[in-house]
Amino acid sequence: MPTVRTVVRFRPLLEKELDKDVIVRADRVEAGKPLTLVKIPSPKNGAEEFSFAFNSVYEQATSQEELFTAEVAPHMKALFQGLDVTIFAYGVTGTGKTHTMRGGLRLAERGVIPRLLSNVFRRGKKITKDTDGATMVDVALSYYEIYNDKVYDLLEPPEKRTPAGLPLREKDGKTMVVGLSERSCEDLKDFERLYIEANNNRVTAATKLNAHSSRSHAILRVKVTQTTGDMVKESTASAIDLAGSEDNRRTDNGKERLVESAAINKSLFVLSQCIDAISRGDKRIPYRESKMTRILSLGQNNGITVMILNLAPIRSYHLDTLSSLNVSSRAKRIEVREIENEIVYKQAPRTNSGLGGISMLRQPLR
Ligand code: ADP
Ligand code: MG
């Protein structure tokens, strides 16, 4: 059975860190093999070294394009075959999660998200062209954040937020956000306009609460709908930038951060508990104990999942790096079912029913 693909990306040292000790390194099982190991000294005994194994490890100099080509592009075909694809970034604040997922404005600096969208639009246009217009491809975007275990729509202005946030509901074995808005996107320009506006909403909302956006989980959902006659194939790509996984008991937090930290830590703590429970083969997985784990549903959802652990290889991150290596190296044992979504048929409205429009009829193909 395929598993969650777990990869590590080191970030380069920042200007102000150039004199710092690099203590974490990439390694291989034996000469000639690809980099799959991360080695880190024991915090108690510097002579002792811990080793963690991953599916792949990317060194400091890895470009945005190299990472996308190696870890995301190979799943785009599956997305259009009807599989859901989830890419999520995990790690301590300041290790490169947002850089990896969103990236910079310059072309070469663009991260996973704009590259994914660009790929989706290109494929969509090609499918329509290759089928002489028989298959239409629609792309729709949702974008939301989870802050203090509450879900907020990022495509809506912060003034429209209700304090309780949006509720979750399980439907067809998937967790949905009830009332989440969805915007249709024609091309990359369309996407970028929406995405920039939504990220501004995120910052505005965080500022109002005297918080920082690295304290919430941001989830972008790209829905791809392929329609051929009355056949509708739907699949989603999710790109998730998780909140910083640092242990806030170790950082100097003011009182106002206490509630917030507890909730952030709780969801990431529940995530690590879920990963432990799944890798132990437990019957009961505590997914339901946080909204983030309900949505992520590791090992529950059908589809492809890639976890990117971001690391800053310097000493000041030592303990948090060790704990994030511990969590993510276990995630690669989580099995996933790479099953395509069912095709849905549009059903013509009954003439004598009072309901207008088109309803969907679910029918298994196989
Ligand atoms: P996080 O989202 O995990 O808190 P950021 O993505 O904000 O971390 O990265 C922290 C800093 O490091 C930012 O200044 C970012 O531009 C820089 N950075 C992260 N990864 C890279 C990289 N691969 N190459 C160059 N700079 C990076
Ligand atoms: Mg960030």
Average pLDDT over residues 266-279: 91
Nearest-atom number in ligand 1 for the CA of 62 is: 23
Q: CA-CA distance, 18 to 16, in Å (whole number)?
A: 6
Residue 336 C-alpha to ligand 2 middle, in angstroms? 27
Among 8, 10, 11, 199, name the best residue to mutate to test ligand 1's pocket (greatest count of ligand atoms within 8 A of Cβ): 11
Buried b (16+ CB within 10 A) or exposed e, 104-137: eeeeeebbbbbbbbbbbbebbeebeeeeeeebeb
pLDDT score at 118: 97
pLDDT score at 354: 43
pLDDT score at 355: 45
Is 46 known as a binding-site position?
no
The ligand that comes nearest to the alpha carbon of residue 96 is: 1
ipTM of the complex: 0.99
Residue 18 C-alpha to ligand 1 middle, in angstroms? 15
Higher per-residue confidence, 98 vs 262: 98
Is 97 known as a binding-site position?
yes
At residue 326 the predicted structure's pLDDT band, cuts being 50, 70 and 90, is very high
- pLDDT of 226 higher than 80: yes
Nearest residue (CA) to ligand 1, atom 18 = 96
Average pLDDT over residues 334-338: 77
pLDDT score at 365: 42
- pLDDT of 65 higher than 70: yes
Q: pLDDT digits over 284-296, tens only?
A: 999 999 999 999 9
- Comparing C-alpha atoms, which of 309, 303, 310, 308 is closest to residue 335? 303
Q: pLDDT digits over 140-190, tens only?
A: 999 999 998 999 999 999 888 888 999 999 988 889 999 999 999 999 999
- pLDDT of 321 higher than 90: yes
- pLDDT of 361 higher than 70: no
Residue 4 C-alpha to ligand 2 middle, in angstroms? 22
Residue 94 C-alpha to ligand 1 middle, in angstroms? 6
Average pLDDT over residues 8-35: 96
Query: Token pair of 217, please?
Result: 């989980």
pLDDT score at 259: 60
Q: CA-CA distance, 60 to 12, in Å (whole number)?
A: 5
Is 8 known as a binding-site position?
no
- pLDDT of 363 higher than 50: no
Pairing of strands 135-147, 217-228: antiparallel
The ligand that comes nearest to the alpha carbon of residue 89 is: 1
Q: Is 294 exposed, middle or buried (0-12, 13-18, 19+ CB in 10 A)?
A: middle
CA distances from 356 to 64, 227, 363 (A): 47, 20, 21
pLDDT score at 343: 82
At residue 46 the predicted structure's pLDDT band, cuts being 50, 70 and 90, is confident
Residue 99 Cβ < 6 Å to ligand 1:
yes
- pLDDT of 251 higher than 70: no
pLDDT score at 124: 97
Higher per-residue confidence, 330 vs 7: 7
Place of tokens 């009355």: 230
Nearest-atom number in ligand 1 for the CA of 9 is: 23
154, 159, 164, 168: CA torsion to nearest 10: -30
Average pLDDT over residues 66-77: 98
- pLDDT of 280 higher than 90: no
Contact 40, 322 (CB under 8 A): yes
For residue 264, count other CB atoms closer than 10 A to its CB: 28
pLDDT score at 356: 42
